[in-house]
Structure 1
Amino acid sequence: MHSNSARRRLLKAGAALAASAMLAGCGFHLRGPQPLAFSTLHVSASQFSDLGSAIRRKVELSGTTTITEDASKAEARLQILANERGREILSLTSSGTVREYQLTQRIRFRLIDSKNTELIPPTNISGQREYTFDDEEVLGKEQEETLLYRDMQADLVQQIMRRLAAYRRPQ
């Protein structure tokens, strides 16, 4: 009986070792900042807006590109053409009060170089989140809505950064 439990422990340890070796060998690594193909970037969104400051932070974290507030000195310019938020009713209770909302955010942007040549044509990205609403918890639901918008915007900024990182200069 004692040898069976020792054998089981040995098999479990061997399986754990094999699984960790396979995971290490597959090339898995966490996604970090991705280098951008230009050394300076101008962002048309205000540095004081949530979207503008989030994009600036992500670009600075890339380690290869610096933000310039002077568009004429930028190697590339990220133009935010639209940033729209919306809220729609998804469902109502039997008494006619709102049960669920759907939040949406749509960003339209393009990337141009210093000669106004389009590097990335106008592109739409959007996100949506849904949440249940309760009239008795209005303050808490307003905070939840704010957090959902913030989370959605973070996702959209990540999408913009992936598109910027995917751009490569023609050879």
Structure 2
Amino acid sequence: MHSTFPARYLALAIIAGSTLIAGCGFALRGNHPLPFDSLFVTADATSSLGRTLRQQIETGGSTRIAESRTTASATLDILSSRRDKSIISLTSAGKVREYRLTQTLRYRLLDRKGEELTPPTELSASREMTYNDGLILAKNQEEALLYRDIERDLTSQLLRRLETVKRAD
């Protein structure tokens, strides 16, 4: 009987915490319902960015990926995607200690008639990574994972912006 007493407090704390979180407007990241029935995406479908973007659009709501511009309600035109790796600190011996990994994405959104709904816009995200010459293979794998994380972050940012677009038609 004495051991259930703290469990009750724990249950009350969980209920109170979830009520506070729900009341403040907090929502988990996830679905991105877009204001378009169909969307044509110009990113290469075989690229990591293209696959991630298409997957998030298809799982985010009722928007389907169109096969061509002519059959789409709108076109997401990926103008560029660039990755950069810069040194942010060195050891006293002059060896790299940390890198900053950055990816920049430029896009615009066009309506069915080819008119801009969103002008060319740039999004950027970065992560920092420590480096050690003795762990080259592991650090290369970490870099690939960080770039994938950055890409997911950028596509989520992009889709959140697309959710708010007002259609002209």
**Shorter-chain TM-score category?**
0.7 to 0.9
Q: Secondary structure at the match of 1:103?
A: strand
d(CA) in 2 for partners of 1:22, 1:147? 33
Q: Which amino acid aligns with 1:90?
A: I
Distance apart, 1:29 and its partner CA: 4.9
Q: Which residue of 2 aligns with 1:119?
A: 117
Q: Any idea what SS the aligned residue of 1:121 has?
A: strand
Q: CA RMSD in A?
A: 2.4
Shift of 1:63: 2.7
Could you give the per-residue CA deviations for residues 30-85 of structure 1, whole angstroms, max 9, x where no partner exists? Answer: 34413211111100001100001111111111231111121121110001111000
User: How far does residue 20 in structure 1 lie from its aligned partner after superposition?
Assistant: 0.7
Partner of 1:17: 12
**Cα displacement (A) at 1:15:** 7.2
SS at match of 1:112: strand
* Structure 2: 5+ residue stretches without partners: none
Deviation at 1:18, TM superposition (A): 6.5
Larger Rg over CA atoms: 1
State the alpha-carbon separation in 2 of the partners of residues 59 and 87 from structure 1: 28
The runs of 5 or more residues in structure 1 that have no matched partner are none
Q: Which amino acid aligns with 2:40?
A: H
Identity between Structure 1 and Structure 2 (%): 45
Q: Secondary structure at the match of 2:103?
A: strand
Report the CA distance between 1:165 and its aligned residue: 1.1
SS in 1 for 2:114: coil
Q: For 1:137 and 1:22, how far apart are their aligned partners in 2?
A: 42
Relative distance call for 1:18 and 1:87 in structure 2 (3 A) is: closer
Counterpart of 2:35 (choices 16, 34, 37) is 37
User: What is the DSSP-based 3-state SS (H/G/I as helix, E as strand, rest coil) of the residue aligned with 1:126?
Assistant: strand
Contact 2:111 2:167 in 1 (8 A): no
**The 10-residue stretch of structure 1 (65-74 or 101-110) with the greater mean CA deviation from structure 2:** 65-74
Deviations 1:82-115 (A, max 9, x none): 1000001111111111111111100011100111
TM-score (norm 2): 0.87
Q: 1:117 to 1:86 in 2, by over 3 A?
A: same
CA positional deviation for 1:120: 1.3
Q: What residue in structure 2 maps to residue 78 of structure 1?
A: 76
Normalising by structure 1, we get a TM-score of 0.86
Distance 1:105 1:31, change over 3 A: closer
Closer, same or farther in 2 for the Cα pair 1:145/1:15, shift >3 Å? Answer: closer
